[in-house]
Amino acid sequence: MLEVPPWLWVVFAATVVVSLVVDLLAHRTAHVIGFKEAAGWSALWVGLALVFGAVVFVVLGAAAGTEYTTAWLLEKSLSVDNLFVFAVIFAYFRVPRAYQHRVLFFGVMGALVFRGVFLTLGVAVVSRFTAVLFAFAAVLFYSTYKLLKGDEGGFDPGRSIALKVLRKAIPVRDEYAGTHFFVKEAGKRVATPLLAVVAAIETADLVFAVDSVPAVLAVSDDLFVVYTSNAFAILGLRALYFLLAGLLDRFHHLNTGLAVILGFIGVKLILQAAHKTISPGVPEIPSPVSLAVVVVVLAASVILSLRRSAPPRPDTSRRNGD
């Protein structure tokens, strides 16, 4: 494990808190996020992640810096799949575009908490039971198979567990009430559909964590590296969604690229586990090689997607049964 100075954790926490506050204040008035605004925020989040990565390089060394960069880029690439699910959820609930940023803001806050919990548990389990890496590799190989087969399991917002629990706990009205999550009707407090959308977004992130958590643990087993890289990737999700909202359908080769990346990471996990549990003679894949593979495969899938026309996608703009 890395010897991370306490002040670096403080810097990270302060950076995240200040970033969230600035973001919230900048978008305190509901409005439609345009391409130019989304591009500006995306550049800010990417720049912030890279600057922090440079700090990791200087303070913790080149190996830690490479692992951070690889984990951040890996999580960033895997999170693009989340954007498709966000689009499905917004279409299902017919969320006005002006309210979408508020939903994603609270979704990101929840994701930061849940990823912190999952990664902490993951690091603890791996440090005690290294053989669990074989199970993580199996999860990644299964995800690779589903992506190559074109069967991603789908995500039906109306059937999410969180949404069912929410509807049992409190009545959910059919109409939005601006950016409010709760309103009073006949003296009773009821939830608006906006709260249901946040619940669906959080459920989707939990589903995607099944892939991303094992994948990032293949890059590093240090909690500081895996969590900070995940946090900075998650912070930029909102801006990335609005930046690519009109281009999502064009990234039709992305799933193939993600499948290759997950398969490669699965192999890396097996070699890593075998090296630690079977024989030190089993070779491991160095972090710089992992970073190069992620960059090349991701770039190739995006370039091929933009050069070739996308096949038609099914219409998701109507609710089930409409």
pLDDT per residue as tens digits for the range 49-69: 999 999 999 999 999 999 999
Choose among 238, 249, 263: nearest CA to 308: 249
Model confidence band, residue 316 (pLDDT cutoffs 50, 70, 90):
very low
Asked whether the predicted pLDDT for residue 213 surpasses 90, the reply is no
Residue with tokens 């946040």: 198
In the prediction, which pLDDT does 207 show? 75
Q: Kind of pairing, strands 188-191 and 182-185?
A: antiparallel
pLDDT at 201: 86
Question: What is the reported pLDDT for 68?
Answer: 94
Check residue 24 and give its pLDDT.
80
Percent of the chain whose pLDDT exceeds 90: 18
Q: 49-77: b or e for each residue (b if 16 or more CB lie within 10 Å)?
A: beebbebbbeebeeebbbbbbbbbbbbbb
Question: Quick one: pLDDT at residue 319?
Answer: 41
Q: Above 80 in pLDDT, residue 152?
A: no
Q: What is the largest CA-CA distance in the chain?
A: 71
Is residue 322 pLDDT above 70, yes or no?
no
Model confidence, pTM: 0.80
Higher pLDDT, 14 or 22: 14
Q: What is the pLDDT of residue 61?
A: 93
Mean pLDDT score across all residues of the chain = 83
Look at residue 321 in the predicted model and tell me its pLDDT: 41
The per-residue pLDDT for 309 is 58
Residue 157 confidence (pLDDT) above 70: no
Q: Going along 139-257, which residue ranges are E strands?
A: 182-185, 188-191
Q: For residues 287-316, give the mean pLDDT.
A: 75
Torsion angle defined by CA atoms of residues 154, 158, 162 and 168, in that order, rounded to the nearest 10 degrees:
-160
- Token pair for 25: 């204040």
